[in-house]
A and B are shown apart, each in its own frame.
Chain A
Amino acid sequence: MADGSIGLWTVPLAVFGGAIRVSTPFLFVSLGECITERSGRINLGLEGTLVMGAMSAYGISYLSGSPWLGVLAAGITGAMLGALHAGICSLPRVNDIAVGIALMLFGTGLAFYLGKPLIEPTAPRLPAIDFGWWSDISQVRAALRINVLFLIGVALAPVLYWAFRTTRWGLLIRTAGESSDAARAMGYSVLLIRLRATMVGGFLAGIGGSFLSLFYPGSWNEGLSSGQGITAVALVIFARWDPMLCLWASLAFGGAAALGPALQSVGVTSGYHLFNAAPYILTLAIMIITCSPKRTLTGAPAELSITR
């Protein structure tokens, strides 16, 4: 082993660093979707929200010079798309899954349309905190350059876990998700609760998108997201609608997604595309293992159309 080189240790290290970097969008989208699904509605359109968030964050960051303003803009864009989803779904006899598919197409189309002039310019990016200052090895330092958004996401998971259990809002969202009749009997508007839950979900997914364009990979182009949004929606299902499990699952996913680039960096180039498919294969595999045709999933909100 030569000086400064850490040989094959590069791979687990890069997977670890990748798990932290790549998992952030998964984390935000899955936490957002967790809130929405707990209220009894599924929003498949978060893929579009993610891409719209990435585009608007990049655009606002470029125009204003402040990446944090970009993050906020991404969140607001996401909340607006969430409101659109909830608004259409509150009409009678409208299928929330189909609306999600429509908004997935609409969101990505709109982002590509509006983002056309943003492919060339370079926008100011989000700063990273250097947790690797103690190490001389460049790979370790690279792996430990951690973005603040990741830390916010990690903090958000236990907060949501706590909020679902103990706060009034958490209970209301769960009531709407378990039995809309019960919520109605208590005098609450189910549609309004779901509207808010979907908007908050969209807000978080938009922020997840801003991470894509403003930190990693850190540019805006049309191939920025390839199904991270939809993978995150699937992730919520096998995380059993539990924010803490969403956190661990997102980290596992980030690691799986980082496997391809990590192997490529040590010269394993064959099967690069197959390794890139690892998160999707992992999602499918875990869904196959954890789902069952006999019973509804434990922890599934009873009003959710996807767990029929």
Chain B
Amino acid sequence: MTTETADPAEAVGVAPAADPGFLQRHGTTIEYILIPGAALVGALAVFGVFVALFGKNPLDLYFYMYQGAFGTWFSWQNTMTRAAPLILTALCTALPAQLGMVIIGGEGALLMGALSATSIALTMQSAPPLAVQLAMVAAGMVGGGLWILLSGALRQYRGVNETISSLLLVYIALAILNHLVEGPMRDPASLNKPSTREIGAANMIGSIPGTDVHWGLVFGLIAAIVSYILIYHTTFGFAARVAGGNVRAAKIVGLSVGKLILTVCFLAGACAGLAGMVEVAAVQGRTNANLAAGYGFTGILVAFLARQNPLAIIPVAVLLGGISASGGLLQRRLGLPDASVQVLQGIIFVFVLASDAVYGRIGFLKGKS
């Protein structure tokens, strides 16, 4: 868990003698690794103290967290399975962040994506599996995309704050899901847990060969890499970042800020919707309230910890997937409540945001760059 900080820390100790300009030239990059890493370690330390107050040994805590997250092949697979939707929901926050928007409604887009994907799969039961799966991907992305597009459009055309509207839309999405699952779309056979009918075993997307990790992880990796290229290596991404930096400047050079906002919001929602599709087509097999497992909210944390960089989201999602994967082990071995993962996530989030104050202030990293 602490290895993330060990490497740059060593670099700090060793590099100056070899190359005096190295630290200064790569100061920004080092900061982006060192500061969130230090924030993470600080958060883990505080959580250790917190757990110690309840009479648990913090060293046991760290050991079981490591065990549950990365200790065995089984826990690695568990971690990766949880990282997949986190990458996608984190993109839902990170993409609009390029435009200076704070979207926190990934959970709602995930639910709408799951509902759309399930609906289309249920209407295409006689079609070949590949067609069903492709249709599910498309439906999930459109469903989630339109949901966040709504927040973006409200911001653009009505000046409604996107943070609040996207969060309100989470609760509305949950209400729609509960309504459909307990009413019109309910499978009469689902007694204890109201659910839709199953999409069918043949239509499930299955696991990557040799593992128990489903293909959703590959979807997540592709989405993250495509997003990275889109933002940093295309005119569109450049325009988005210009508009995010200074809306007036963007308008003066003739950029259509409204179009940018709508497109980026749709793409962001499409990522979260894809996460919903993956959860249906690879894990649950149907839509029910289990889907509201909080991936959308943890995704916000992933995006902030990765400083809204799509490539950095991948390792951060694995890390936080690991923390949530270790929750079960912490519950069984240490008797910690299942909410302990949420507490730790909250502490990490607070530390990461507070660490924003430190950027550009570390003396030995200051340089010409």
Chain A contacts to B: CB under 8 angstroms: 44, 84, 88, 91-95, 97-99, 101-103, 105-110, 112-113, 116, 222, 226-227, 230-231, 233-234, 237, 270-274, 276-277, 280-281, 283-284, 287-288, 291-294, 306-307
Contact = CB atoms under 8 A, between A and B. Distances in A.
B350 interface: yes
Given A91-B357, A273-B182, A293 B158 contact: yes
B104 interface: yes
A88 B351 CA distance: 9
Given A227-B171, A283-B168, A284-B172, A99 B353 contact: yes
Contacts of B168: 227, 230-231, 234, 280, 283-284
B175 A112 contact: no
Contacts of A112: 337-339, 342
Nearest to B175: A277
Interface stretch (B13-21, B225-233, B296-304): B296-304
Contacts of B170: 227
A99 B350 contact: yes
Given A88-B354, A107-B346, A277-B175, A293 B156 contact: yes
Given A92-B357, A116-B337, A102 B342 contact: no
Contacts of A280: 168-169, 171-172, 175
B134 interface: no
What size tier do the contact residues of chain B reach?
35 or more
B157 interface: yes
A105 to B, nearest CB: 5
Interface pairs A-B: 7 shortest CB-CB: A106-B346, A109-B342, A277-B175, A112-B339, A102-B349, A91-B357, A293-B159
Contacts of B357: 91-94
Given A227-B171, A306-B161, A113 B339 contact: yes
A306 B163 CA distance: 9
A107 B338 CA distance: 15
Given A107-B346, A108-B342, A291-B159, A102 B353 contact: yes
A106 B347 CA distance: 6
B164 A93 contact: no
Contact of B345 (A94, A105, A276, A284): A105
B33 interface: no
Contacts of B352: 102
Nearest to B298: A105
